[in-house]
Amino acid sequence: MTETTDRNDYPLLDQVETPAQLRELMPAELPALADELRHFLIDSVSRTGGHLAAGLGVVELTIALHRVFETPRDKLIWDVGHQAYPHKILTGRRARMDTLRKKGGVSGFLRRDESEYDAFGGGHSSTSISAALGMAIAAKLHGEQREHIAVIGDGALSAGMAFEALNHAGALDMDLLVVLNDNDMSISQPVGAVSNYLARVLSSGFYNKVREGSKQVFGPLPGVKDLMHRWEEHMKGMVMPGTLFEELGFTYIGPIDGHDIPLLLSTLKNMKAMRGPRFLHVVTQKGRGYAPAEGDPCVYHGVTPFNPDTGKMEKAAGSKTYTQVFSDWVCDAASADERLVAITPAMCEGSGLVDFAERFPSRYFDVGIAEQHAVTLAAGMACDGLKPVVAIYSTFLQRGYDQMLHDVALQNLDVTFAVDRAGEVGADGATHAGSFDMSFSRCVPNMAVLAPADEAECRALLHTAYLHEGPALVRYPRGRGPGVLPGTGLDILPWGRGEIRREGANVAILAFGTPLQTALAVGQALGATVANMRFVKPLDRDLVQRLAETHELLVTLEENVVMGGAGSAVDECLAELGLRPVLLNLGLPDRYIEQATQAEQLAEAGLDRDSVLRRIRQALAAHQQALPLNAAASKSG
């Protein structure tokens, strides 16, 4: 880490509350501003946790973009939000960065309602080019002259959506600048004096005037125009990797050093003067300026609070996380069955596949940020005798829904979906919450949906789903469970069967998944029966019928939206059976729940122990009040 300032000593950064103030600084002051901004970012994130390495890599780029373009009039669209912390600091949110990712605090992603400088909300990747193109079209139709800049990372560029947008933008000939923040791809190799020189030349007004002038002079001559085009593309293709983007209709510049502020400024100024679709390829270093993050940018991509002097992170004590339970199971299952292959859409670490990738490299497939491809790839593998396990977050499976429905379920293929981050996810907020998977999966024919209640059951249900011949989804939450340690075997549980975990009377609570612990606590207070349902689909109809016939009030409890979820499945079952007990469906409300701790989010949703107890008592009181009225109505009838 550069040592130009003491921590908390920011003479230049103190002068910059908005990009307009940034533009007032002398050009020679900008490198020192970058140092201060980098120091502040490290110090801030060391206290709050959050995303670090990506932001450190774009400090100079962020300064240059806000210096050259008239934000917020010019629309700057960041892909996702991992790289946007420096942007937040320079756009009026520096004083509130200590609230990052906390309830009511600064979001870890982009939010239109948080700042006028956040032109587009970004929680899922690869959307920036499409959004920027949409804004460019709107500006043209409104007769407004402004710039539209999409900053996208090399990982996000691997998604099909990004290329769909590039293809469309080139065809429309809109004023759009795409900035590729490349910190990993092999095309970053040409960075150096020669490529920097070429970037200056190719982005200069002189070069482009000569190029356009030559086209006007020689264009009418038969054959000469095609010859000139082939010569130009051949010469550029020899020294830079921009032919693909040129063929898509973009003027390609780069690659250039993303940490050279004078070069960034001159190139961006030249490109600002151009019209039409433009593509700037910028090479950066993840974790730039902080040795621990430079040495291991993957570990320092997302961090818990850490010691900024040593880089040592705080580690949560306690039982295994559900992700670790999956990691152990998938390795053990692969050892027992050579047909097992694992697929992830760029979430190796987050989904718990690091050990699998090391032990079974030929059976591990990271497809990049390409959820649709991941699911159909699994379908293709299943067609020819493999048994794919797709390890994916609930929020990202939404992006592969059509493929899950048409390519996997319609063909009844043997694919297991290990769905992490089901339910509320804490500081990542609404964009990453797994609030909908029970609803969107249980309506799909052939699809089984399993919801383990603890760590041991998670392992057992993963293997139960894996051995099931057909598509099956196992959902489990972020973080740690109640501490029910799983064994090391490959046990299975009875298919489509729940269990009674507590015998009681009057009230029966049907818990789906990890809310079982809350249900048991409430059941103890009420003297209620508690059922661990385990399966959302196939639903244990016999257990539902027995509980409905022997209890006055049936309560369903799930960490999924109420609409279309597990409770709805119970309601539909009872209607088919012709049973009419008093019903109370408890789950996530019909609104997005923003960032907070998971406990705070559950309390806001009314799914904490006290809220569930209160709501059941209210339902009982309302039912008992209605009984005399019903009896009187019956007599008068």
Q: Are 14 and 34 in contact (CB under 8 A)?
A: no
The closest alpha carbon to 311, from 297, 328, 327, 321, belongs to 297
Give me the mean pLDDT over the 246-269 stretch.
93
- Chain segment 318-355, per-residue pLDDT in tens: 789 999 999 999 999 999 999 999 999 989 999 999 99
Q: What does residue 103 show for φ and ψ, rounded to 5 degrees?
A: -55, 125
- Cα gap 31→36, rounded to integer Å: 9
Q: Of the listed 75, 101, 278, 286, which one is catalytic?
A: 286
Q: Of the listed 75, 320, 399, 537, which one is catalytic?
A: 399
In the annotation, is 635 catalytic?
no
What pLDDT band is residue 422 in, cutting at 50, 70 and 90?
very high
598, with CB counted inside 10 A (0-12, 13-18, 19+), is middle
Show Cβ contacts of residue 142 under 8 Å, excluding neighbours closer than 6 positions.
Answer: none
Interhelix angle 609-636/516-526, rounded to 10 degrees, is: 60
pTM attached to this predicted model = 0.88
Q: Are 519 and 557 in contact (CB under 8 A)?
A: yes
What's the token pair of residue 609? 């122990």
- Cα gap 343→348, rounded to integer Å: 9
Give me the mean pLDDT over the 35-58 stretch.
95
pLDDT at 217 over 80: no
What pLDDT band is residue 194 in, cutting at 50, 70 and 90?
very low
- Chain segment 272-319, per-residue pLDDT in tens: 999 999 999 999 999 999 999 999 888 898 899 999 999 998 776 678
What's the token pair of residue 358? 């090391």
Angle at 585 between CA 584 and CA 589, to 5 degrees: 130
Task: Give me the pLDDT at residue 222, please.
Answer: 56
Task: Give me the pLDDT at residue 2, please.
Answer: 43
Task: Give me the pLDDT at residue 154, please.
Answer: 86
Which residue carries 């009225």 as its tokens?
629
| Helical H segments across 105-254, by residue range | 128-142, 160-172, 193-203, 205-218, 224-239, 243-247
Give me the mean pLDDT over the 594-603 stretch.
96
541, with CB counted inside 10 A (0-12, 13-18, 19+), is middle
How far is CA 455 from its chain centroid?
24
pLDDT at 75 over 80: yes
Q: Are 7 and 308 in contact (CB under 8 A)?
A: yes
Q: Are 154 and 180 in contact (CB under 8 A)?
A: yes
In whole angstroms, how large is the CA radius of gyration of the chain?
A: 28
Give me the mean pLDDT over the 144-161 stretch.
91
What pLDDT band is residue 213 in, cutting at 50, 70 and 90?
low
What pLDDT band is residue 624 in, cutting at 50, 70 and 90?
confident
Q: Are 59 and 290 in contact (CB under 8 A)?
A: no
What's the token pair of residue 636? 């008068």
Give 51's strand partners: 302
| Least confident range of 153-167, 350-364, 487-501, 609-623 | 153-167
In the annotation, is 102 catalytic?
no
In the annotation, is 399 catalytic?
yes
Task: Give me the pLDDT at residue 196, please.
Answer: 56
The H or E element that residue 624 is part of is helix 609-636
* Strand order across the 529-532 sheet: 499-502, 529-532, 507-512, 553-561, 582-588
- Chain segment 378-399, per-residue pLDDT in tens: 999 999 999 999 999 999 999 9
The region that residue 222 occupies, defined by phi over 0 for left and psi between -120 and 50 for alpha, beta otherwise, is beta
What's the token pair of residue 148? 């539209």
Helix (H, G, I), strand (E, B) or coil at 587: strand
pLDDT at 634 over 60: no
Task: Give me the pLDDT at residue 278, please.
Answer: 95
Task: Give me the pLDDT at residue 596, please.
Answer: 96
The DSSP annotation for 50-87 comes to: EE-HHHHHTHHHHHHHHHHS-TTTSEEEESSSTT-HHH
Q: Of the listed 60, 371, 455, 457, which one is catalytic?
A: 371
pLDDT at 188 over 50: no
Q: What does residue 284 show for φ and ψ, rounded to 5 degrees?
A: -125, 170
